Amino acid sequence: MRVHAATDHAGYEFLQDLIAHLREAGHDVVDHGPDHYDALDDYPAFCIAAGEAVVADPGSLGVVVGGSGNGEQIAANKVVGVRAALAWSLETARLARQHNDANVVAVGARQHSVADAVALVDAFLAEPFSDDERHVRRIGQVGAYERGDRAQPSAPGV
């Protein structure tokens, strides 16, 4: 699977280890930066580039990393078509894919050990979307809003 990855200075070292792990596991990893450690870098451009690449590359997934993962998730989610989820446990990583068809996972490099953070990414990448009708419907509602349809969705039976 192709994986688009990006980080900031707080996740730079972790992302290098993660990329090596993912490549060893057979994934085709595209690194969207930064290409060197800079304590003053700004994550939005890197995370937006990774998000744009995921949207332009059907079937691929993305990983964005920072100190907490919060800002990186927010930046990636500004890209139309990205559904980025912050994973902080194996269950949240799996549910992001299973229920939300998330296509980007955000991880906080300062929040987890390297082994635990790698496990979060592995769980995210391995989990398929459930295709359950209720999840498809909800994702469709979010997508409609994202495309400018501001009609309020209603729940079935309402």
The answer to whether residue 51 is domain-embedded is yes
Query: Is 91 an annotated catalytic residue?
Result: no
Percent of the chain with pLDDT over 90: 92
Distance CA 83, CA 76 (A): 8
- Give tens-digit pLDDT for 113-131: 999 999 999 999 999 999 9
Asked whether residue 151 carries a pLDDT value surpassing 80, the answer given is no
The answer to whether residue 143 is domain-embedded is no
Range of the domain at 82: 2-130
Instruction: Look at residue 149 in the predicted model and tell me its pLDDT.
Output: 86
User: Which of the two residues, 47 and 156, has the higher pLDDT score?
Assistant: 47
Q: Mean pLDDT for the chain?
A: 95
Catalytic residue among 21, 99, 127, 135: 99
The answer to whether residue 85 is domain-embedded is yes
Asked whether residue 3 carries a pLDDT value surpassing 90, the answer given is yes
The answer to whether residue 75 is domain-embedded is yes
Catalytic residue among 4, 32, 72, 112: 72
Asked whether residue 154 carries a pLDDT value surpassing 90, the answer given is no
pTM (2 decimals)? 0.94
- Give tens-digit pLDDT for 32-88: 999 999 999 999 999 999 999 999 999 999 999 999 999 999 999 999 999 999 999
Instruction: Look at residue 134 in the predicted model and tell me its pLDDT.
Output: 96
The answer to whether residue 38 is domain-embedded is yes
Asked whether residue 158 carries a pLDDT value surpassing 60, the answer given is no
Distances (CA, A) of 112 to 34, 80, 96, 103: 21, 29, 18, 21
The answer to whether residue 136 is domain-embedded is no
Asked whether residue 157 carries a pLDDT value surpassing 70, the answer given is no
**Structural domain count of the chain:** 1
Burial class (CB in 10 A: 0-12, 13-18, 19+), 75: buried
Query: Is 24 an annotated catalytic residue?
Result: no
Q: In the chain, at which residue ranges do the beta strands (DSSP E only) sit?
A: 2-7, 28-31, 61-66, 84-86, 104-108
The answer to whether residue 158 is domain-embedded is no
**DSSP letter string, 69-104:** SHHHHHHHHTSTT--EEE--SHHHHHHHHHHH--SE
Q: What's phi and psi for 113, nearest 5 deg? A: -70, 160
**What CATH code is carried by the domain that includes residue 43?**
3.40.1400.10
The answer to whether residue 94 is domain-embedded is yes
Label residue 150 by pLDDT band (50, 70, 90): confident
